[in-house]
Amino acid sequence: SNRLFDQETSNLAIGLAQCINITSLTLDLSNNKISHQGISNLGKQLENCLQLEFLLIYLGNNQIGDEGVIGLGSGLKTIPKLKSLTLDLKENNICESGAHSLSDSLENCYQLTDLSLDFYDNKIEGKGISYLGRGLKNCRNLKQITLNLWQNLIDDDGIARFGYDIGKMTSLTNFSIYLWKNQIRDEGISNFGQGISKSRSIRNLLINCWSNNIGIQGALGFLKQLQSCLKLNSLIIDLQNNNIRNQDNYKLLNKIQKIKRLVKRYIKLPQANKY
């Protein structure tokens, strides 16, 4: 097997620590056997890369867990010039404390403008996403967020709290969130929309809620809230495989038409296509 373990990852990290002048770094460590020890060593050595502005780390399908995220985050928050960060953390058994720690670290990345986080198939619950929202709210220069939370354990309360924090972000213009296969119902999606509606900066919104427990009232409530988004001009929304009957599709199409500022609309419903 050519898979990397902790020792190889630590050796790689030691080498990177010598590259004190690099401004851009991409590491693809997906599909290995790296645990919290290896990734924590990587985080520690990244502290020496003080000129780093663009960082992409792919860690999908390893064994880093919450402890690994804590270790990685401790390094990220010491990189003073970091502007763009992509972290692929899919399939790593990350729970509440990992999300909490990462959010605390991101608060210290003062120059960050572009963030992409992939938490596909982890165990983040409502409290976890609440902590994440709290941290993102304090990233005052963030303009673009892409957040993949497919197949986690996010509930109504968590997504609502997250939405309120996102709505308070003053620089955010592009926001994409993927919530496929969570535990979101009518109350959650409607309250999420209420939070987002407070935004005075979001122009482009993509939300994928495929395969939750959302009914027609929740979907209508969400779209009604978006009518208050002052800058929103592009909306892409996927509500497939929820509790919405085909015969109710026209209600959603009518509601989305009432968001007057939209110049781009794309909604996915049972037997409903782009219009």
Q: Quick check: is 10 in a domain? A: no
- In the chain, the DSSP E strands lie at 24-28, 54-58, 84-88, 114-118, 144-148, 174-178, 204-208, 234-238, 264-268
Rounded to the nearest 5 degrees, what angle is found at the Cα of 62, between the Cα atoms of 28 and 57? 30
Query: What's the farthest any 2 CA atoms get from each other in the chain?
Result: 62
Q: How far is CA 101 from CA 20, 73, 116, 177, 186, in A?
A: 26, 7, 16, 20, 29
Contacts of 85 (CB under 8 A, 6+ apart): 55, 56, 76, 109, 112, 114, 115, 116
Which helix (H) or strand (E) is 177 found in, with range? strand 174-178
In a domain, 4, yes or no: no
Q: Are residues 34 and 159 in the same domain?
A: no
Cα gap 191→25, rounded to integer Å: 38
Please name the helix (run of DSSP H) or strand (run of DSSP E) that holds residue 14, with its range, or none.
helix 6-16
Same domain, 128 and 238: no
Q: Which residues pair with 264 in a beta bridge?
A: 234
| CATH code where residue 195 lies | 3.80.10.10
- State the pairing for strand pair 174-178/234-238: unpaired
Last residue of a domain, one of 123, 151, 179: 151
Domain range holding 262?
154-275
> Domain for residue 7, yes or no?
no
Does residue 243 lie within any of the structural domains?
Answer: yes
3-state helix, strand, coil in the chain (%, to 5): 40, 20, 40
In a domain, 1, yes or no: no
Q: What is the spatial distance between Cα 128 and Cα 123, in angstroms, rounded to a whole number?
A: 9
Residues 47 and 144 in one domain: yes
Count of domains forming the chain: 2
202 with 273, same domain: the answer is yes
User: Is residue 130 included in any domain, yes or no?
Assistant: yes
Q: Which residues is 266 bridged to in the sheet?
A: 236
- Ordered per-residue pLDDT tens for the chain, 275 residues: 468 999 999 999 999 999 999 999 999 999 999 999 999 999 999 999 999 999 999 999 999 999 999 999 999 999 999 999 999 999 999 999 999 999 999 999 999 999 999 999 999 999 999 999 999 999 999 999 999 999 999 999 999 999 999 999 999 999 999 999 999 999 999 999 999 999 999 999 999 999 999 999 999 999 999 999 999 999 999 999 999 999 999 999 999 999 989 999 999 986 544 33
d(CA 223, CA 258): 9
Q: Is 118 part of any domain? A: yes
In the numeric block, which tokens belong to residue 79?
């990189």
Q: Which of 102, 119, 151 is the last residue of a domain?
A: 151
Do residues 117 and 159 both lie within one domain? no
Contact 223, 250 (CB under 8 A): no
189 phi and psi angles, rounded to 5 deg: -70, -35
Distance CA 13, CA 4 (A): 13
Strand stretches in 216-255, DSSP E: 234-238
Q: Is residue 43 part of a domain?
A: yes
